[in-house]
Structure 1
Amino acid sequence: MVNVEPLSVLFLWHHHQPFYQGPEMEQPAMPWVRLHAVRGYLDMITVVADCEASMTFNFSPSLLEQITSSELLDPRDEFERVSFIPSADLPAEAKRFILANFFSVNWNVHVRPHPRYAALLSRRGERLTEAAMRQALVEFTNQDFSDLVALFHLAWTGFVGKKRPELAELIKKGQGYTDEDVRTILASHREILSRIIPLYRELYEQDLIEVSVSPYSHAILPLLCDTQVAMADIPRQRLPNPAYRHPEDAERQLKKAWDVHTKTWGRTPSGLWPSEGSVSDDALERAAACGFQWAATDQAILERSERTYTNGPAHFVSHDWVRGSQTIRMYFRDHALSDAIGFRYSTMDPAQSVEEFVGHLRRIEEITRDTPGRCVVIALDGENPWEAFPDGGEGFLSGVCRTIASDQRLQLSAVSRHAHRVTRERILHVHPGSWIDSNFRIWIGDPEKNRAWIELDRARRRVEDLPVGDPRREECERWLLKAQGSDWFWWYGEPFSSEYESHFDELFRGFLKAVYRAADLLPPPSLDEPIVSPPPEERRLQPMFPISPTMDGRETSFYEWTGACRIDPRQYGAAMGRSEHVLRAIYYAFGRDHLFFRLDPTSTIRSQSQIVVRLHLHGGKSRLISVPFTEIPAVYEEEGLRWALQDILEIAAGQEYSGVVPGEELQFWIEILEGESLIEKLPPAGVYRFIVPSPELMAAHWIV
């Protein structure tokens, strides 16, 4: 019997946070470096150490600098600062801040299962209006605020931290927390934070894990090289004018990243996770020239690239990208497996999810048995997925590590260890794009995003006016590097939205202002004007006027749903993209005597017979409308309800069926199941809401 090498399973976990401390800020604008550190960062490396599992962890330099800064300088963020104030001494503004921000956790996992936290949310209200805020300020006692602060920080504590005796005791307490209890939690968090880098460094030095790096401020390198590269998917007229074209900035991002990595870990990096998996030929050429030996992105990029032929699924082998004398080894993540961790397995029993995940790996091993150098890459965010797991991901992560270790057909490996293998595959031209939809639409092409690029270009030109060697130029470039981060562009415009987007906008404009000041110039007045538009909540969430669509499961005409409210499901999700979405869009509207809903599925959901979509209505009556995707097309009708499924799903619910009363609020949410497993809820937390209009309002706005 011929010995077959095991399938190399290459995990690449990406840790990243943007620069949260602006040039004129005394403290970070947001707490996410500290909070993610006490949860995901420590939890993951602890499991890997316990299982002796070989994996790759990617750290953005912006995150590394802030973790070490938090250790040395202790710059407390506003969340931590107000938490240290005794509850009896909290000023009104601090109370407002706590009420607005200390429910910023996954409600289904960390709030609703805990009676005290759930009761506090119920009293504050899931939808925080100004009226609700004023009422809460009156009703919340000192004890309520102490409990809210304690429960928020305990919710953000990972499973490793929760096993610390002092925190385990406080979790068991459940309520009645004192100011001293809060200080104990915060002190424990600081101690956890101080352990992160030393523990990763220890395992990195032992070669158990590999640490790779991203561009310094998590910039999208292809767009720094030339924003016109986005033309592959975005019409020229929708791109910023003038184009941003500074490949030397991409080089500077890479060299600075190399330096931060070397300083932090005591060794030079081998691998690069390009920010958001964003690649182009120009960007890869500069990465190879800088000394990086490998880089990774999504399998969809490979499928659209010009390459040599591979027998079988191409992303199960590595490829050499070659241009002239420059070469870099490329790896392509399996996005179905990667997304399953991020968006599916949190709803399953850990043992069941481990069995399913490893089962997929075994099937890949079978179909690639004759493929030399075979591998499967699972690359994803190493922070956000775990907040959706009831146990923080401990059961899944440790179960996967131990199950793979016990299977001779599979082998966990760091990417660099696999990169030493010879590959026959070549990429002649890489498709320019990111791991999200294989394009750059998240960061360019929207009016807000384009304005940000124009402001960046304008500031960049001021840097060019300074002579090389001028100390002012070096200072300008320091701030410019931070302004080039991807996160600012992520939150501008569509499709993502966040209650903190104004903070991101302020940080971006602050970094650009610092560029001008470092050049001894006054910042232009345009940088005093917010780039992000105030969210038009009522206009966005309230349908504009009555409609009368044909219930046939098809978009009968372009104008059929004009007047409905449209929701992009991604904008209400976590700060994290996914390569395949269950629904592309949700519409809801009203007619003379009906409520109308439209759900646009992706091709993925249409091809899966086990998918069931559930629409929950809560108004005058509570209704559950369940639509199986087992047969397409399909039509269903009962008294007061009709739905039709073909290209899209259209639902009409009569007034008698829904029990809604004009002038009152209707709440709804959507659940998507595969078999018996819940794979997505929209919105992830809370519900969608709108006011059912009166007949007078409908008559005033009726359009034929």
Structure 2
Amino acid sequence: MNISFMWHMHQPDYRDGSGVMQMPWVFLHAIKDYYDMPWMLARHEGLKATFNITPPLIEQLKLYYEEPQKNDRFLNLWMQDLVLLNETDRNWMIKLCKSTPFETMVLALPSYAALHKKEHYNDNELFDMQVLFILSWCGIYLRSSNDLISRLIKKERHYNNEDKRALLHELSKFVSTIFDYYTKLYQDGRISISTTPLNHPILPLLMDMENAVKANHSTKIPKQHTSLEDDAVLQVTRAQALFLETFGFEAEGFWPAEGAVDEKSVALLKECGIKWIATDEAILFKSLGHADRSTLYSPYNYNELCIGFRDHGLSDHIGFTYRYWEANKAADHFISSLSSINKNSPDGTVFIILDGENAWEFFHNNAFDFFDALYTKINNTPWCKTLHMDDVAKLPTKPLNKLAPGSWIHGEFNTWVGHSEKTRGWELIYLTKRDFNHHKTTLDSETKDKITNHFLAAECSDWFWWYGDDHFTEFGTEFDMLFRSHLISIYDLMHIAPPSDLFETIIGDRSSQKFWLRPQSHISPTTNGLHDSFFEWIGCGVVDESKLFSTMDRVRGPVSKILYGQDETSVYFAFNADISQIHECDTIGIIIEPIEFNESVELHAFKSANYEEHFGNIKVEIAAKNMLEIRIDKSSIKTDQIQIRFELTKGGVIIQTLPGFGELEIDLATDYSENWFV
């Protein structure tokens, strides 16, 4: 069996009209992931993979080579005397320094953990937290090989200006070596390198917005849409030119942004000399008209272009599920899954394609333990062979006569168009394009080039990802502002007053209250698996899974809503779900931290009776008749703060992790007195 890993490395263009990056995620992932990911592969003899590196990432990464504080708003503030920061900048600095995942990154630095929990900071505390924030993002390679990083981590507190200057200089020097390292691994035959259209646009939507309706007939698209095909061509050709300039050779393959394809955009890629692309299994099944998985494990030839189709489930196991598992258990599960595929599709090729940067901060040790276990087991499995995509393009292929439009998310485009906010973004692009076309004859070539750059940046898929109610980020307003700033800059360059609409925020309220209501009072429901009474759950907390990151999950699973709460003796959970799907599940895993409680309970026994079990000192009662209910006895839990999550399994595969945002934190000592009234 061939295994073809593709790691997609991408960040949106954070530069505003002045060219300064407004958020530091390119830098942070550079010191944590962009070197570590190929390095972790290269440590294992003979393994191969493909790394897809997008143009916005390439352009911005180069801005950190020298004096990075001039090109990055965060680092500019980071280097300033804290006394000089105004309240807005200081609060934004604190917000960023507290954005690091606590369990997997902050806790590894005890001083950072202590500061992270504070609400107010004096200058010395904030200074230390600034340094610790950067250190927490340093990857395993830097921590294990760089003396300065090791020394500063051991220092723990009382950092000074010289520490800051030395740290930034060292990290800037390190970032400048990243692309050279990729080039060396390419020359050694260990990796292939591909890219994506310039600003990570959804090419099928640029070329023909009707593709959204073809992929999903219920999708609402802008009424006055127009083809942006000329921009689509520039997005491809400029990406190719930047790739050649950076790596010294031409890219043979593309990962179309978000795996988004249609026949016309793929024809454009072929016309531009691309030899292979990759997309999602949903596109293959829609193209073939059936979902026979035995057809998945082969490269295909569509119009003389090689296409690999990702195994959605296995790829998303790495991206979303294995973070909760012990490293060897996760690696064994992956190999076992490959073995099952190999029995049904011997000599097949499995495509594992996913984000190469954003998942690892939710793994312990930046996923080093997981990848070390996984790569070791692959090397020790004689029937497994890894190939990069340039190798795959030379394999025999199956013919594909039709290519359905769609993306890696459900084989459609609703993540980027359909919701009123997403539609509003497109409408503003079309409005600006019409005004530009009306006035462009009066503009000189240099101005038109600058305007074109802003149009291409505004067409980035990332802006539309955060519009609508399907994804949540604390930095939604910043993304909204960046998107509109490109269109405002176009009007400024034309010396025309921008329409007032461009100064109005598009993004709505993104508070967690939309999907998460905290408990308001004690509850004491009966755990019998029945809808006894609505009133016994009054005052409970609610997590609405149907509204929570819905497009990110590999499979939504049967549970649509979690009800939870507590009284003096117990913590209670109820799961709104299709109960027939619950009864088809094998087990529900219950993981409670920080205590040692990680157990799976069989679900088949609950169809007609309650089930009570002791796990160590903890008593758990479960019932699943008309609904799934769980009661956990509090008497043996010797801590006030717990984090809990649940895993539903079917056929040995986790089909849903609850809650969808990771862990549900519960204060067992809460008395809810702040909610009382008389």
Going from structure 1 to structure 2, the CA distance change for 1:624 and 1:579 (only over 3 Å counts) comes to: closer
Counterpart position of 1:47: 40
Instruction: Give the one of 500, 506, 520 matched to 2:481.
Output: 506
What whole-Å deviation, never above 9, does each CA across 1:491-513 have from its counterpart, x for those lacking one? 11211111111110010001111
Going from structure 1 to structure 2, the CA distance change for 1:564 and 1:298 (only over 3 Å counts) comes to: farther
What whole-Å deviation, never above 9, does each CA across 1:406-430 have from its counterpart, x for those lacking one? 444222111111211222x222222
Counterpart position of 1:414: 388
Counterpart position of 2:399: 426
Q: Report the Cα offset of residue 387 of structure 1.
A: 1.1
Q: What's the secondary structure of 1:354's corresponding residue? A: helix
Q: Report the Cα offset of residue 676 of structure 1.
A: 13
Going from structure 1 to structure 2, the CA distance change for 1:272 and 1:670 (only over 3 Å counts) comes to: same
Rounded to whole Å, the distance in 1 between the matches of 2:285 and 2:64 is 42
Going from structure 1 to structure 2, the CA distance change for 1:599 and 1:308 (only over 3 Å counts) comes to: closer
Q: What's the secondary structure of 2:63's corresponding residue? A: helix
Going from structure 1 to structure 2, the CA distance change for 1:227 and 1:555 (only over 3 Å counts) comes to: farther
1:356 counterpart = 2:319: no
1:9 counterpart = 2:19: no
Q: Which amino acid aligns with 2:586?
A: S
Counterpart position of 2:118: 123
Instruction: Give the one of 38, 44, 48 matched to 2:31.
Output: 38
1:497 counterpart = 2:472: yes
Q: Write the mapping of 1:548-587 to structure 2, written as runs, cut at 5 A.
A: 567=543, 569=545, 577-582=552-557, 585-587=560-562
* Larger displacement relative to structure 2 (99-108 or 356-365): 356-365
Instruction: Give the one of 679, 683, 687 matched to 2:665.
Output: 687
Q: Report the Cα offset of residue 56 of structure 1.
A: 0.6
Decide whether the 8 Å contact of 1:635 with 1:642 is kept in 2: no
Q: What's the secondary structure of 1:506's corresponding residue? A: helix
Rounded to whole Å, the distance in 1 between the matches of 2:387 and 2:482 is 38
Rounded to whole Å, the distance in 2 between the matches of 1:335 and 1:309 is 12
1:398 counterpart = 2:372: yes
Q: Report the TM-score when normalising by structure 1.
A: 0.81
Q: Which amino acid aligns with 1:533?
A: G
Decide whether the 8 Å contact of 2:22 with 2:74 is kept in 1: no
Counterpart position of 1:190: 172
Q: Write the mapping of 1:652-691 to structure 2, written as runs, cut at 5 A.
A: 670-672=645-647, 680=657, 682=659, 683-684=661-662, 687=665
Rounded to whole Å, the distance in 1 between the matches of 2:83 and 2:439 is 54
Instruction: Give the one of 396, 417, 422 matched to 1:449.
Output: 422
Q: What's the secondary structure of 1:434's corresponding residue? A: coil
Q: Which runs of 5+ in 2 are unaligned?
A: 613-619
Rounded to whole Å, the distance in 2 between the matches of 1:602 and 1:249 is 49
Decide whether the 8 Å contact of 2:528 with 2:610 is kept in 1: no
Decide whether the 8 Å contact of 2:440 with 2:448 is kept in 1: yes
Going from structure 1 to structure 2, the CA distance change for 1:598 and 1:292 (only over 3 Å counts) comes to: same
Rounded to whole Å, the distance in 2 between the matches of 1:602 and 1:55 is 42
Rounded to whole Å, the distance in 2 between the matches of 1:587 and 1:229 is 36
Counterpart position of 2:194: 212
Structural RMSD (CA) = 4.4
Q: Which amino acid aligns with 1:294?
A: W
Rounded to whole Å, the distance in 2 between the matches of 1:85 and 1:404 is 48
Percent same amino acid at aligned positions?
A: 28
Q: What's the secondary structure of 1:671's corresponding residue? A: strand
Counterpart position of 1:127: none
Rounded to whole Å, the distance in 1 between the matches of 2:351 and 2:296 is 8
* Larger displacement relative to structure 2 (261-270 or 679-688): 679-688
* Larger displacement relative to structure 2 (293-302 or 356-365): 356-365
Counterpart position of 1:277: 259
Q: Which amino acid aligns with 1:83?
A: W
Instruction: Give the one of 243, 254, 264 matched to 2:236.
Output: 254
Q: Which amino acid aligns with 1:361?
A: L
What whole-Å deviation, never above 9, does each CA across 1:401-452 have from its counterpart, x for those lacking one? 34433444222111111211222x2222223221122221211111111111
* Larger displacement relative to structure 2 (502-511 or 185-194): 185-194
Rounded to whole Å, the distance in 2 between the matches of 1:553 and 1:590 is 16
* Larger displacement relative to structure 2 (390-399 or 312-321): 390-399
Q: Which runs of 5+ in 1 are unaligned?
A: 1-6, 125-135, 617-622, 660-664, 700-704
Q: Which amino acid aligns with 1:184?
A: A
1:147 counterpart = 2:128: yes
Instruction: Give the one of 534, 553, 558 matched to 2:509.
Output: 534
Going from structure 1 to structure 2, the CA distance change for 1:480 and 1:340 (only over 3 Å counts) comes to: same
Decide whether the 8 Å contact of 1:435 with 1:579 is kept in 2: no
Rounded to whole Å, the distance in 2 between the matches of 1:556 and 1:216 is 57
Rounded to whole Å, the distance in 2 between the matches of 1:439 and 1:549 is 41
Counterpart position of 1:333: 310
Rounded to whole Å, the distance in 1 between the matches of 2:108 and 2:164 is 21
Q: Report the Cα offset of residue 587 of structure 1.
A: 4.5
What whole-Å deviation, never above 9, does each CA across 1:263-309 have from its counterpart, x for those lacking one? 11111111111111112222222222222111111112212223799
Rounded to whole Å, the distance in 2 between the matches of 1:517 and 1:332 is 43
What whole-Å deviation, never above 9, does each CA across 1:602-639 have from its counterpart, x for those lacking one? 999765413335699xxxxxx9999753456466499x
Q: Which amino acid aligns with 1:28?
A: M
Going from structure 1 to structure 2, the CA distance change for 1:34 and 1:550 (only over 3 Å counts) comes to: same
Going from structure 1 to structure 2, the CA distance change for 1:551 and 1:436 (only over 3 Å counts) comes to: farther
* Larger displacement relative to structure 2 (641-650 or 224-233): 641-650
Counterpart position of 2:148: 166
Counterpart position of 2:107: 112
Q: What's the secondary structure of 1:449's corresponding residue? A: helix
* Larger displacement relative to structure 2 (580-589 or 225-234): 580-589
Decide whether the 8 Å contact of 2:555 with 2:656 is kept in 1: no
Q: Which amino acid aligns with 2:422?
A: K
Rounded to whole Å, the distance in 1 between the matches of 2:143 and 2:655 is 27
Instruction: Give the one of 68, 79, 82 matched to 1:84.
Output: 79
Q: Which amino acid aligns with 1:348?
A: W
Counterpart position of 2:616: none
Instruction: Give the one of 438, 456, 459 matched to 1:484.
Output: 459
Q: Which amino acid aligns with 1:385?
A: A
* Larger displacement relative to structure 2 (75-84 or 562-571): 562-571
Q: Which amino acid aligns with 2:235?
A: Q
Q: Report the Cα offset of residue 12 of structure 1.
A: 0.3
Counterpart position of 1:130: none
Q: Which amino acid aligns with 2:349?
A: C
Q: Report the Cα offset of residue 515 of structure 1.
A: 2.2
Decide whether the 8 Å contact of 2:645 with 2:664 is kept in 1: no
Rounded to whole Å, the distance in 1 between the matches of 2:188 and 2:641 is 58
Decide whether the 8 Å contact of 2:212 with 2:219 is kept in 1: no
Counterpart position of 1:473: 448
Q: Report the Cα offset of residue 396 of structure 1.
A: 2.6
Rounded to whole Å, the distance in 2 between the matches of 1:115 and 1:599 is 39
Decide whether the 8 Å contact of 2:195 with 2:253 is kept in 1: yes
Counterpart position of 2:617: none
Decide whether the 8 Å contact of 1:666 with 1:691 is kept in 2: no
Decide whether the 8 Å contact of 1:307 with 1:426 is kept in 2: no
Q: What's the secondary structure of 2:6's corresponding residue? A: strand
1:375 counterpart = 2:353: no
Rounded to whole Å, the distance in 2 between the matches of 1:454 and 1:207 is 46
Counterpart position of 1:23: 17
Q: Which amino acid aligns with 2:587?
A: Q
- Number of equivalenced pairs: 654
